[in-house]
Structure 1
Amino acid sequence: MRIAVVLAAVAAVLGAAVIGAAVAPTPVEHRVEVRAPRLAAGIKVDYRVDGVSRIFKLQSDLAIGPGTLAAEIDLLTGTITGDLTLPPSDGYFIAFGFVPTTARTELVPVGKTTGTIKEGRVKANAKVVIKLGDVAVNGQPLDVGPACQTTEPASIDLEGPFQLDKMQLTGVYSIPPFAGCRGREPLDPLFTGLISGPGNTIDLTLTLLPTVP
């Protein structure tokens, strides 16, 4: 009798196991979608900007910088946008071919510096208002007022080989007429005649600055 009861119990357990195995749900297979890594749209870099501009009418050089260009380079579209900052420069030139003249010159950027990269070369454009101050003629101060500047921004096109760590860019540009140059008397015609016009050259060196952690 005991043996029969034990066998019946074992049969019941085995039967339940078989039934449970038959009705147990099949585990759901979880698939993980693998996506290709996304190419970064742009990288942010800072450049030191140094250079020189040759003013055609004066046949004199104007030192530029050291300034900075905080740029973003889009690797997908091949575009560059940045904020240019330049300090004032002290210029020396000979007016009328014999009068030594000095002036503080400011190149004030207007809007973003933009550019494109194609086939290993970069083409960029910067717009700057040119302001004059602290003018002295033959050592004597010349009052030009606080608002002596070009009537519109000078548009400077630059071009050169693209290298992330260091670039040499050159260009030729025109200087617009001057306005607001007024101290004791109007001086706009004087500076426009002496400085404004085409054929001015510019050479810039952009050197990649180390990233600050």
Structure 2
Amino acid sequence: MAKYTERLVERIISFIEEDIYSISEICNALNINRKTFYEWRKTKPEFNEAVERAIECRDDKLLMVARNSLKKKLEGYTLTETRTVYVPDESNPEKLVLKSRTVRQKEYAPDTHAIKLVLLQNEAKEEKEAEYKQEPALTIVVRDPTTAESLNLLRENLRNNHSVEQKKKEEAVADDQAIKPSDKPLAIKEANTEVETQPKKKSKHVIIPNLNTGPLPPGYRYRG
């Protein structure tokens, strides 16, 4: 079992605040058993308080990093990239000299998704605060039984009147939404009756009047 010393406690606290290693990794780096670490937290109040303060400090730093990252997403930011190229010196190959340096800047627009999340969170917070700010209901304490009965009767009458008015409004809305029959008569179209007369068929025979002018040529005859 490792020996409990102030120097060891300081190293444990510094590792926790830096938030680089987990508890298991800290114990392995300092040759401490994991069970010993939690045993010290139970049996040594000063060690437990120091660990709690270190965890709070670590969480505050992490929260600050998260806020800064969120701020960049909300406002947008510019990313600068620098590329440097070195080459061996002609007179001294073991020495490197600067050949070129390229600087690039890239603009990042605000993230609309992050903006929506922040606005929704703010609205939820305002609604929650508004619920706490609501005034409590008015309470009337009456010791006289007659007065209390009169107040109860008045309350019931107000409730009944409100229910009747609400019912009338609902019925009026239902009547307005009902489909009314049309007052206009239906237009009836009269069909035009047309009588079609079939034209007389023309005879295919040619009628030649009997003129008795003389004999007909061969193949012809008179028809009366």
Query: Where on the TM-score scale, by shorter chain, does this alignment land: which range?
Result: under 0.3
Relative contact order higher in (CA < 8 Å, ≥ 6 apart): 1
Structure of greater Rg: 2
- Choose between structure 1 and 2: higher helix proportion: 2
**TM-score of the aligned structures, taking structure 2 as reference length:** 0.17
